[in-house]
């Protein structure tokens, strides 16, 4: 519509289909209710529009998570993950999944509910956020919004976000690591129960994430 002029006829042959950005097809929600019950839910279509099959009369798409199986050993899937015979397609079997919805207890009581979308980067993003909270005692906002990195064995490279510490990058490169600057890693949703009974959370800066309490 950028070149649309309501006062002048358009030339049809000059009009072509637009290019619409399709986001990653995984989403996550972290919940704690008034009684302290926790739920961490990750759901996905996997690739863009999933299997591109809509359930008749229901209006939702089926995913294409068959791609998470190993078609054959040594062949990467759409995320570059390389599997083996253990993840081969077998009737009645569940495929390998990166989904990492997580509940954390402290002294046998609810402490953290966390999860994220992000394909193969999901376990990395969740683990790094938990380390930030548990080991470095960061607040929820810092724990999820600090720059992240990711390594998944193959391809043999370390993916870093654009705001990653350049000094750390140089030290890693000096050790022989292949550093690749990429897009965002995850969109982590976390809630932490503080010792005073309050709940601490934050919206990940990497997307249109939000928090709500009632």
Asked if 145 contacts 74 with a C-beta cutoff of 8 angstroms, the reply is no
Each residue's pLDDT tens digit, 71-115: 888 888 888 888 889 999 999 999 989 999 999 999 999 999 999
Give domain 25-202's CATH number out of 3.90.1170.50, 3.40.50.2000, 1.20.1090.10, 3.60.20.40: 3.60.20.40
Nearest to 98 by CA among 163, 159, 150: 150
The structure's pTM equals 0.84
**pLDDT at position 61:** 93
Q: Spell 46-61 as b/e; 16+ CB within 10 A means b.
A: bbeebeeeeeeeeeee
Catalytic residues, which ones? 26
- CB count within 10 Å of CB 157 equals 15
Each residue's pLDDT tens digit, 125-172: 999 999 999 999 999 999 999 999 999 988 999 999 999 999 999 999
Ramachandran region of residue 74, left (φ > 0), alpha (ψ -120 to 50) or beta?
left
Each residue's pLDDT tens digit, 6-57: 999 988 888 877 776 666 679 999 999 988 899 999 999 998 889 999 999 9
List the domain boundaries for the chain.
25-202
């Amino acid at each position: 519509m950028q070149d649309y002029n309501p006062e002048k006829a358009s030339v049809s042959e000059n009009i072509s289909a637009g290019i619409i950005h399709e986001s990653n097809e995984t989403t996550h929600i972290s919940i704690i209710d008034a009684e302290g019950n926790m739920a961490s839910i990750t759901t996905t279509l996997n690739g863009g529009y999933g299997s591109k099959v809509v359930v008749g009369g229901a209006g939702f798409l089926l995913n294409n998570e068959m791609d998470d199986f190993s078609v054959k050993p040594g062949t990467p899937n759409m995320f570059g993950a390389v599997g083996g015979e253990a993840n081969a397609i077998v009737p009645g079997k569940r495929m390998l999944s990166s989904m990492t919805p997580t509940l954390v207890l402290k002294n046998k009581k609810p402490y953290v509910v966390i999860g994220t979308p992000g394909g193969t980067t999901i376990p990395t993003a969740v683990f790094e956020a938990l380390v930030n909270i548990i080991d470095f005692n960061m607040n929820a906002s810092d724990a999820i919004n600090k720059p992240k990195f990711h390594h998944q064995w193959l391809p043999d490279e370390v993916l870093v976000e654009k705001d990653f510490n350049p000094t750390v990058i140089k030290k890693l490169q000096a050790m022989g690591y292949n550093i690749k600057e990429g897009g965002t890693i995850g969109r982590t949703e976390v809630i932490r129960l503080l010792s005073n009974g309050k709940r601490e959370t934050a919206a990940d800066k990497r997307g249109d994430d939000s928090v709500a309490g009632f």
